[in-house]
């Protein structure tokens, strides 16, 4: 949560309400459980650790000048590190999804490059699992577990193809409009 909130702030200083709206948009129905309180709690923690500061909005579109949250220098470093760190094979779908959204919104990383790095990582992992799986009978306990892990990794790789299609269609002058 902290990393995601920080990454969303990398685009521009924002009000808590605005962050919640963007997070909800990125999460779709999964974001319904998200309440404004969680965002404010996270922002307060981030402020305490010096990763964000509150400042006055420059030029409000309408209404009075509100307080907005902005990244500090160390907040920016942390976002860059989070985007660059390769997510492990166990990383959950929503976390990686938000990383792509945050990368695209902030312009701090190329979502397609993140997807490529993750594909290589998952493929290497799948190679290890498949070599082990072929060495074990599927009807043994070990073989059954390896089969399950291989199927999970395969599902992750297929979802990554979908990510790549969507993000490359959105990228300015990106990898073309996908296939077939």
Partner 1 sequence: MTRDGRRLRGRSRRTGTPRGSGAQPAGTALRAVGLTRSYGRGESLLWAVDRVDLDVPAGQTLAVTGPSGCGKSTLLQLLGGLDRPTEGEVWLGGRRIDHLGERALAGLRCRSVGFVFQSFHLMDELTAAENVELPALLAGSSPRAARRRAAGLLDRVGLADRARHLPSELSGGQRQRVAIARALVNEPLVVLADEPTGNLDSAATRDILHLFDELRAAGQTLVMATHDERVAATADRVVSLRDGVPVDDTRLADDAGAGLGALLSWED
Residues forming contacts to partner 1 in the complex (CB under 8 A) are 88-90, 116, 119-120, 123-132, 134-135, 138, 149-150, 153-154, 157-158, 161, 173-177, 179-180
Number of H helices, E strands in the chain: 7, 2
Least spacing, CB of residue 96 vs partner 1, in Å: 15
Least spacing, CB of residue 131 vs partner 1, in Å: 4
* Helix ranges (DSSP H) in 49-172: 73-84, 93-106, 111-134, 141-170
Structure tokens at 42: 């996270």
Least spacing, CB of residue 94 vs partner 1, in Å: 15
The answer to whether 69 and 2 have CB atoms below 8 angstroms apart is no
Least spacing, CB of residue 93 vs partner 1, in Å: 14
Q: Which is nearer to partner 1, 12 or 161 (CB)?
A: 161
Least spacing, CB of residue 89 vs partner 1, in Å: 6
Structure tokens at 4: 């995601």
For residue 23, the SS3 value is helix
CA–CA dist 73, 9 (Å, integer): 12
Q: Which is nearer to partner 1, 28 or 172 (CB)?
A: 172
CA–CA dist 139, 142 (Å, integer): 8
Q: Which is nearer to partner 1, 2 or 154 (CB)?
A: 154
């Amino acid at each position: 949560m902290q990393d995601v909130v920080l990454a969303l702030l990398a685009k521009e200083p924002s009000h808590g309400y605005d962050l919640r709206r963007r997070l909800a948009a990125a999460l779709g129905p999964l974001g319904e459980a998200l309440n404004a309180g969680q965002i404010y709690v996270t922002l307060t923690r981030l402020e305490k650790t010096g990763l964000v500061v509150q400042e006055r909005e420059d030029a409000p579109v309408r209404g009075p000048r509100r307080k907005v949250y902005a990244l500090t220098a160390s907040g920016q470093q942390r976002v860059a590190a989070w985007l660059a760190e390769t997510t492990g094979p166990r990383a959950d779908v929503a976390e990686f999804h938000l990383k792509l959204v945050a990368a695209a919104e902030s312009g701090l990383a190329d979502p397609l490059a993140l997807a490529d790095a993750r594909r290589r990582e998952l493929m290497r992992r799948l190679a290890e699992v498949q070599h082990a799986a072929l060495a074990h009978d599927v009807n043994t306990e070990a073989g059954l577990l390896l089969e399950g892990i291989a199927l999970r990794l395969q599902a992750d790789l297929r979802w990554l193809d979908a990510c790549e299609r969507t993000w490359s269609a959105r990228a300015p002058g990106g990898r073309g409009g996908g296939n077939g």
